[in-house]
Amino acid sequence: MEFLITLITTVLLLLMPAITSSQYLGNNLLTNRKIFQKQETISSYAVVFDAGSTGSRIHVYHFDQNLDLLHIGKDVEFFNKITPGLSSYANDPEQAAKSLIPLLQQAENVVPIDLHHKTPIRLGATAGLRLLNGDASEKILQAVRDMFSNRSTFNVQPDAVSIIDGTQEGSYLWVTVNYALGNVGKKYTKTVGVMDLGGGSVQMAYAVSKKTAKNAPKVADGVDPYIKKLVLKGKPYDLYVHSYLHFGREASRAEIMKVTRSSPNPCLLAGFDGTYTYAGEEFKAKAPASGANFNGCKKIIRKALKLNYPCPYQNCTFGGIWNGGGGNGQKHLFASSSFFYLPEDVGMVDPKTPNFKIRPVDLVSEAKKACALNFEDAKSTYPFLAKKNIASYVCMDLIYQYVLLVDGFGLDPLQEITSGKEIEYQDAVLEAAWPLGNAVEAISSLPKFERMMYFV
């Protein structure tokens, strides 16, 4: 009997740690939880420079292991910008690189110092550098690479600094907008198409069906394909993407001036006589004695867009470019950059709003009002444009956006578009710009993180 009691006691002592969450100490019962090894909290920051044609911008994001954004203070990103853009330093690449140091310092202050060596840093240059002549752009990029390597404590990969092509820019923006709206992983018909009117180029990107992608026109070697294939949260998408170089807000003015050459241009306001400089080239900018003319300006812009250019496909936008076929992926559109800033600057919307609804036809009403003004009156009517020294182009810019949307992209004048500089995300807002998509790709490639996004 004594042996049996000893055996049972021994077995109970061996089993107790595994089967109970209590233990005895003398006459006292101590209850305590099992002790598990603390799980490592994995997160990563990403730093992305957007080197645009009119300025450079810094974006800092913080992701958890599942590629969900974490807060940085009260916001879900750190953002700041400087002017002018890198392309303004075409003859001084070292100064171009130095211009980024204040933004770099700000990013270094945002990211905890013990995570610097793990934090990927990228710089994507867009249309401004694409338009520079000769090797000027490559010299600037190399100066930035050297500055990052010598000055930055972040993780600088060999491909960290580059000119991103227009299709990449459009694809990244599409990811940004659909990520922010919670559309990632949904059917392509539930996604939102994007348009981005920058300084040097304009992009259109939207998801299409597999059938449309399969039948997309082939392009010549060295030309960006019409379809970009990417996987986002395990779901493959076929994106129609095209970037129209020379047709951004600033670049388009030069194209419009080329149509009239040294003759008066009906897109310019009465009393204006000067020059317009873009990408180092000067253009005569003189208004007719009678001032701007809505229909005359519209005709000039249609010529600048090459709307009558031969179309080798069933449907084209302008300049002989395939339009992607339309479809549900283009049914809802989000327009960013100058599609937002121009209506804001002319007072069509509340400047405090992050985004708003607008129809192409709404631009016509404002354009007719603007075109009827002389140059001096326009400066007082549009103080924000006057401050930027571009009030003389208000008639031109408004009509250009309308013609681009309706005659160029083939949208219905009454189609409602969401135009914005920011998108509501959780309890904060995100900049509606391509760097978030680029950051998601960068973090997706890190070990231990979900491979949310990659191109195929």
Give catalytic residues, as residue numbers.
169
Q: Is 56 marked as binding a ligand?
A: no
Q: Is 234 marked as binding a ligand?
A: no
Q: Is 200 marked as binding a ligand?
A: yes
Contact 79, 61 (CB under 8 A): no
Q: Is 203 marked as binding a ligand?
A: yes
**Sequence-distant (≥ 6) Cβ neighbours of residue 47 within 8 angstroms:** 58, 59, 60, 107, 111, 119, 120, 121, 122, 154
SS3 367: helix
Q: Which two tokens stand for residue 168?
A: 């990449």
Long-range own/partner contacts, residues 142-149 (CB < 8 A, 24 or more apart): 142/93, 143/93, 143/94, 143/96, 143/97, 144/86, 144/96, 144/97, 144/100, 146/97, 147/97, 147/98, 147/100, 147/101, 148/104, 148/121, 148/123
The arrangement of strands across the sheet holding 43-51 comes to 78-82, 56-64, 43-51, 121-125, 161-163
SS3 430: strand
Q: Which two tokens stand for residue 298?
A: 């519209």
Burial of 404 (0-12, 13-18, 19+ CB in 10 A): buried
**Sequence-distant (≥ 6) Cβ neighbours of residue 401 within 8 angstroms:** 197, 338, 339, 342, 360, 363
Query: What angle, 0 to 180 degrees and rounded to 10, lies between the N-to-C axes of helices 294-304 and 394-403?
Result: 60
Q: Is 152 marked as binding a ligand?
A: no
Binding residues: 199-203
- Binding-site positions for ATP: 199-203
